[in-house]
Amino acid sequence: MKILLTPGVGEIEEKKSRFIAHLCSVKTEEEAAAFFEKTKKEYWDAKHNCTAFVIGEDARLTRCSDDGEPAQTAGRPILNVLLHSEVRNVACVVTRYFGGTLLGTGGLIKAYSDATADALAKSIIGEEVSGVKIPFTLDYDAYGKVQYEFGRQNLNIEDGVFTDKITAAVTVPVEKEEEIRKLLTEVTLGKVILGESTECVIVRETEE
């Protein structure tokens, strides 16, 4: 599932009207509502603060508001951009400072869509994937070899406890579990004790 790691701010100007888009990661409708209220207070002098959010990997919960703009010209375009981006658990407010010229239905739809898209383009997007944490115990003479092989695969050794032996863990996507278990066995020449994996969620930046 795509998620927002670092929100960006989008801004466009159309016939002297300014459209400023802010994004926020949310997991509940209440969190989205709090974000909307906070943003509206910050931009209290704006003509409109139009909103939308998408919650759930399957976009099970969505809402949008035109905040006084003509029906379907603001909230719905914002929502459509969020849905098309496939980013989930995200809320957006697009603030409009009226420039004195009416934009018409098509102009409003384009402006609110473009501002939202600009905010997403300036954000850092990540993803959540199903993972497992694999605990293992080994001798000191095998530790350096494991470090080297993990380094080659951009894996981090976690939860290291150094006594007479080394107990640690590594977190990998579910589909790589067997591969990493095999690697640990081969690199240590079988001198590793592999524990039972626990399920987890891995958050990582998406590759463009």
Q: What is the pLDDT of residues 35-80, one digit of tens each?
A: 999 999 999 999 999 999 999 999 999 999 999 999 999 999 999 9
Tokens standing for residue 6: 């670092």
Q: pLDDT of 155-187, one tens digit each?
A: 999 999 999 999 999 999 999 999 999 999 999
What's 101's DSSP letter? S
Task: Kindly state the average pLDDT of the residues 196-206.
Answer: 91
Domains, the chain, with CATH or none: 2-122 (3.30.230.30), 127-205 (3.30.70.240)
The reported pLDDT for the residue numbered 207 is: 61
Say whether pLDDT at 24 is over 80. yes
Q: Minimal CA–CA distance to 93: which of 68, 73, 71, 119?
A: 119
Name the CA radius of gyration of the chain, rounded. 24
Q: How far apart are CA 3 and CA 14, in angstroms?
A: 29
Q: What is the DSSP letter of 130?
A: E
Give pTM, 2 decimals: 0.82
